[in-house]
Chain A
Amino acid sequence: MNFWSKLQSIDVRIIYITVFVTLAIPLLIPLGIPLTVADNSVNMYTLIEDLQPGDRVLMSLDYTALVAPEVHAGTVAICRHLFEKGVGVAMFGYIPEGPMFGDMAINQLADEYDLVYGKDVVNLGFIPGSESGVRAFGDNILESAPRCFRNQVTKDMPIMQGVRNAADFKMLIGIGDGLQVMVQQIHTVHGTPICGVSTAAGTTGLWPYVNSGQIKAMLSGLRGCAEYEMLVNKPSTAVAKMDGQSLGHLVIILFIAAGNIGHFVTKKNKSEAKQ
């Protein structure tokens, strides 16, 4: 097997080691590759910036520990923006683990923004029943979540006063895999504007909703979260991971290029040998 043939079948262990080293280096020694902010992130920022103190938003946290490293930074960055503006946040999730991340964000930011649970923020917890559950929740929030994640009665909370259904919230911010369900079961029924954060892999499937305006703005994956951290002037974990993502993409492209060069040269050599 000559060099060009070998380029087409590089040992998988070499690929894995190269990827690992490439991702590890920028985490240990940040490279500071410049990060620009895309229009989508600016749109998202503007939507939240336009909210007034005292407004309320719903935040649907629909992700597990698997994708949390990609989107949880977005939850924290958006919460920072909302709390800074004095906007009330009611969290829930139709994936059991989601509300747990909500509580983590609340605990992380509670002291920084002097949050009063039940007044500034509430975690309504897990809503079972998948899409049907979300529909029921949107139609009658207090009946679907009579007690919150911390086992307190929700109807007595200041943040929940006057709430009947999803239309009583200025916006719904979906984080993770639930944006499509939120469009279908909340926006279509109650007209609540939707925006949020999707995983990079989920972006392509949700993009038609962004183009149609059913999703007002959407941050895409880790990069979107990093851009939002820049917008709220709190660069954190997402920004720190961007160098790794850049180099990771570059390594994948280099391997693809190597495979294709090997493929073409071998093909050319074979056709020349035939002649």
Chain B
Amino acid sequence: MTLWRRDIPLLITFLTGIIYVLNNVGTISIGSTTLGELVQDLNVWVLIVAAFAMGVASVNLLRLHGEKVQRRREGWGYSLVLIATMLGYMLIGALGTTYQIPFFADLTNLVYTNVQSPLGATMWAMVGFFICSSAYRAFRARNVEGTIMLVAGILVMLGNAPIGESIWGGFPVLSKWLLDIPNTAGQRAIMIGAAIGAFTTALRTVTGIDRRYMGTIE
């Protein structure tokens, strides 16, 4: 049992990881093919697996909400709306986009432009209100760090809005300096830290130390 549930998945992960690592070392031939071609094939597999994963997720969503509707659990009405919307939009999307039936193509765009777009834009626009409220409460010059953040925030805001430039031409210059120097330094530190972290995780996974992806913590 452990052979199929642990050893073979570990071997597949190890071999796949090694193939990708070796591919970056140089051109290596295996019989009539090269490692690079093998990697390209593996990358296409990723696309297929990812597309299937979306299908599995859709089926899972339907099962979960279908059961909720069937058993009349609390909030089943919302689940019904979700199922109807999902299946309905999937159908008109397929007929309009994949089969290019003009009526359904127009309907797909109409629904998206007039329902999804305004709803999405509303969600994002609300963030503006929250930002204003939280900036008002958080940006207080209580200590040195808070003051630096406050000054930097105001300079960047004035530097990015046309009105800032109308008030004083130096705001965009200061804003650009903040973006170019302190921001770049900080962001690079975060990026390099994250990259080292990702490399460590990859190494742990390839060598079989980290096995959480198999659903077991051993």
Contact = CB atoms under 8 A, between A and B. Distances in A.
Partners in one complex: yes
Interface of A: 10, 12, 15-16, 19-20, 23, 33-36, 38, 64-70, 97, 100, 103-104, 107, 127-130, 132-133, 135-137, 139-140, 143-144, 149-151, 200, 203-205, 207-208, 211, 220-221, 223, 242-243, 245-253, 255-256, 258-260, 263-264
B100 to A, nearest CB: 6
Contact of A249 (B150, B161, B172): B161
Contact of B154 (A66, A129, A256): A256
A242 B217 CA distance: 52
B180 A260 contact: no
Interface string B132-164: 110111011110000000100110011011111
Q: Which secondary structure dominates where chain B touches chain A?
A: helix
B180 A211 contact: yes
Interface of B: 40, 43-44, 46-47, 49-51, 53-54, 97-100, 109, 112-113, 116-117, 119-121, 123-125, 128-129, 131-133, 135-137, 139-142, 150, 153-154, 157-158, 160-166, 172, 179-180, 183-184, 187-188, 191
Contact of A65 (B116, B183, B188): B116
B97 A248 contact: no
Contacts of A23: 128
A7 to B, nearest CB: 10
A22 to B, nearest CB: 10
Given A16-B129, A140-B40, A250-B163, A260 B150 contact: yes
28 contacts: A10-B136, A34-B165, A36-B165, A64-B120, A66-B123, A68-B121, A104-B113, A128-B53, A132-B47, A136-B43, A136-B47, A137-B47, A139-B40, A204-B183, A204-B187, A211-B184, A220-B160, A221-B160, A246-B162, A249-B157, A249-B164, A256-B135, A256-B136, A256-B154, A258-B136, A259-B140, A260-B139, A260-B150
B139 A256 contact: yes
Nearest to B36: A139
Contact of A252 (B47, B120, B132, B188): B132
Contacts of A151: 97-100
Contact of B162 (A33, A252, A256, A263): A33
A29 to B, nearest CB: 15
A249 B109 contact: no
B121 A249 contact: no
Contacts of A100: 112
A238 B46 CA distance: 38
Contacts, number: 165
B120 A36 contact: no
B163 A246 contact: yes
Nearest to A256: B139
Given A33-B163, A130-B50, A143-B44, 14 more contacts: A15-B132, A19-B128, A36-B162, A64-B120, A65-B120, A66-B123, A69-B121, A107-B109, A128-B51, A137-B47, A246-B162, A249-B164, A253-B154, A256-B135
Given A15-B133, A66-B121, A207 B187 contact: yes
B131 A207 contact: no
User: Among the interface residues B137, B154, B161, B188, which one has the most CB atoms of the partner chain A within 10 A?
Assistant: B161
Contacts of A259: 136-137, 139-140
A249 B187 contact: no
B97 A207 contact: no
A203 B184 CA distance: 11
Given A69-B124, A150-B97, A151-B99, A140 B44 contact: yes
A136 B53 CA distance: 17
A208 B165 contact: no
A28 B6 CA distance: 64
Contact of A129 (B47, B112, B165, B191): B47
B148 to A, nearest CB: 14
Given A36-B165, A65-B121, A149-B97, A260 B140 contact: yes
Q: Which 5 A-B pairs give the minimum distances between C-beta atoms?
A: A65-B120, A136-B43, A129-B50, A246-B163, A128-B50
Given A151-B100, A250-B161, A255 B135 contact: yes
Contacts of B137: 259
Nearest to B164: A249
Given A15-B132, A128-B54, A260-B150, A135 B43 contact: yes
B172 A132 contact: no
